[in-house]
Amino acid sequence: MASNRLKESRRVTFKLADYEFGSLRTPEELAIIRACEETFIAFCDFMDMGEVEKAMSLHVEDVVLYDAGRSEPMTGRALMLERMKKVRFSYPGRRTLHTPTNFRFHQVNGSEAECRVVISLYDLVKMPEGKGIGRYSTELLGYAAEEVRFVPENGFWRFHTRKVQFLAGMKQLPNGTMPGDLPWNE
């Protein structure tokens, strides 16, 4: 069953398994959920620190990314690394803050774990006249929901499939556009 679901994840129709929320989880399921949350949070932290290679090491080699606004999924860690570098370093000195919340886990077992996460993304904009904590202001770029499938790999839970959907964005950011798509460096 799990192998069929992994093959299915390569289709644009990837969606989370049905789950009756409020059911008791086993200790093993709770441990898997915690490991997957840590993986997601570490990804966000590494991206914010500009350590894109470390962020991408949290993915299996043949990761599948359904990126918002794109008709076809992106397959492979190398392609995703290139995309994430473009987004993270879309303009000189860019600093970001990704805040994942509302982890909602669906199917969880020893071979895969699926969840939905809401992320808010901020740019930390340098204020030349600012001092101390006021040296940077936060500019909300938007909110996204992400559906994720994790799989175990060598004792660690890694991203296998990611599907990003933008929920809302700042007025200046054209709908469906990621910061890396803007002509900052042109």
pLDDT tens string 73-120? 999 999 999 989 988 887 778 888 999 999 999 999 999 999 999 999
pLDDT given at position 178: 56
Nearest C-alpha neighbor of 149 from the set 40, 53, 73: 40
Q: What angle do CA 167, 55, 98 make, to 5 degrees?
A: 35
Mean pLDDT of the chain: 85
Q: Output the pLDDT for position 132.
A: 83
What pLDDT, in 10s, does the model give residues 162-182? 999 888 876 665 544 555 555
Cα Rg for the chain, rounded, in angstroms? 17
Nearest-angstrom CA–CA distance, 176 and 70 = 9
Helix, coil or strand: residue 71: coil
Dump pLDDT digits (tens) for 4-17: 444 444 444 567 88
- Work out whether the CA dihedral 156, 104, 70, 96 comes out positive or negative: negative
The answer to whether the CB of 142 falls within 8 A of the CB of 168 is yes
From the list 50, 54, 36, the residue with the least C-alpha distance to 162 is 36
Nearest to 16 by CA among 155, 125, 160: 160
- Whole-structure pTM value: 0.82
Q: Which is more confidently placed, 136 or 54?
A: 54
Task: Output the CA torsion sign for 173, 174, 180, 184.
Answer: negative
What tokens were used for 124?
A: 């930390």
Topology of domain 2-17+27-174, per CATH?
Answer: Nuclear Transport Factor 2; Chain: A, (3.10.450)
Residues 59-64 have a mean pLDDT of 97
**Residue 140 to residues 20, 137, 144, Cα–Cα distance (Å):** 33, 10, 12
